[in-house]
Amino acid sequence: MNNALSGLRVLDLTHMLSGPYCTMILGDMGAEMIKVEPIAGEGTRKLLATDPEHSIDGMGAYFITLNRNKKSIAIDLKSEDGLALFYSLVEQADIVVNNYAAGVPEKLKIDYPRLAEINPRIISCSITGFGEQGPGAKRPAFDQVAQAYGGGMSITGEDTSQPMRAGIPIGDLGGGMFGVMGILSAVIERYQSGRGQHVDISMLDAQISLLNYMATMHFMSGNNPQPIGNSHFVHVPYNSYPTADGHLVICVITDNFWHNLKGLLHCEALEKSEYDTQPGRLADKTFIDTTLADIFHSQSTAYWMEKLNAQRIPAAPVNTFSQALNDEQVLYRNMVVDLAHPNGQTTKGPGCPIKLSRSEESAYTPAPLLGQDTQHILSDMLAMPDDEIDRLRSKGVIA
């Protein structure tokens, strides 16, 4: 397979979401993924594992999705033999990823300075809630903590009375995405220096970065922005509107789009000359939104989308999951793929969003059973004799 990251070997110590999402993307792009799990298994194995609607043969949707394209080896890193075994794997690896709480890698003796002594080319990445340094580094964090602390929740929702998190876990996923970027930056730099380095990813840092131009606006004005639902603080109309059978959004960001919309709707109330430019529309935002809501509610979403698309007005239906995951563009882009269980059963899940012109499309091997590759990895990768593997297994060092 001509995958973009073929030849890179990753030791994956991650759990839950932010770390596994990072390593999932690396695996999708062709890196060899070795998931190093505790003897009892990574905690995500238990999530939804007994839910009859969201599991296959004791493996839940979390694990099936996030751990595709990975091998599993189970090691007791807290034992002397287990730690020595992990160090042997580090000698043969390129990248080590974890999302333990700050300070845990040092306690486990798997922090970057120790790993670099074993393999100077090793690249390590830690994804934590608040980063590994600083006065708040030791605070516990999960997705919603990062969303709240990073300011994004303060502008999500209809008003300030009820802060609202993003529907997708952008706190966790943001940390995972920036983890991928940091790791690949370190890989590129290693081609120049010949040495590895450590990548320190903070979920909070990621959320602050995603505030982007709105943070700059705050520094300029001194004002805290307020939640405004689905509307926009500059563009009008830019909002969601009810239809006869659902909702749609339109995003009029230029005056030309406004003129196209007027030509489509033939509504006398919207023909005021002051509406022909953005300042006039912004000044009467509530009236315009209310008028459009009444108009769009008269017909189905499909009816309006056909009309809006014909006029090239930026618009979209507010899709449910079933609608989005069956959309012809989504399917054409191979963004719905088969995900298999080791027993041969399959379900479907999201594909890889990174498309490269020469490298082959991602393939998806099943998420592994606990420790299913232990024997193979130790015998092939480390050339360990069977009697030594049996000894480690009998001592409970591996599973």
* Cα angle, residue 216 at apex, residues 210 and 220 outer, rounded to 5°: 160
**C-alpha distance across the termini of the chain, in Å:** 30
DSSP label at residue 290 = H
CA–CA separation, 125 vs 197, rounded Å? Answer: 9
What is the crossing angle of helices 170-193 and 18-28, to 10°? 50
> CA 266 to CA 311: how far, in whole Å?
13
Within 13 Å and on the Cβ side, how many CA atoms surround 274?
9
Q: Which of 62, 163, 175, 183 is nearest to 129 (CA)?
A: 175
> Looking at the DSSP assignment, which residues form a beta bridge with residue 268?
none
Distance CA 33, CA 46 (A): 21
- Cβ–Cβ < 8 Å for 236, 285: yes
Paired residues of 33 in beta bridges: 10, 70
- In 40-103, which residue ranges form alpha helices assigned H by DSSP? 61-66, 80-91
CA 86 vs CA 80, 104, 305: distances in Å: 10, 16, 56
Number of helices (H) and strands (E), helices first, in the chain? Answer: 16, 13
Our CA angle for 148, 153, 158, nearest 5°, is 150
**Angstrom distances, CA of residue 163 to CA of 140, 159, 171, 234, 238:** 21, 8, 15, 22, 21
For the annotated catalytic residues, the residue numbers are: 172
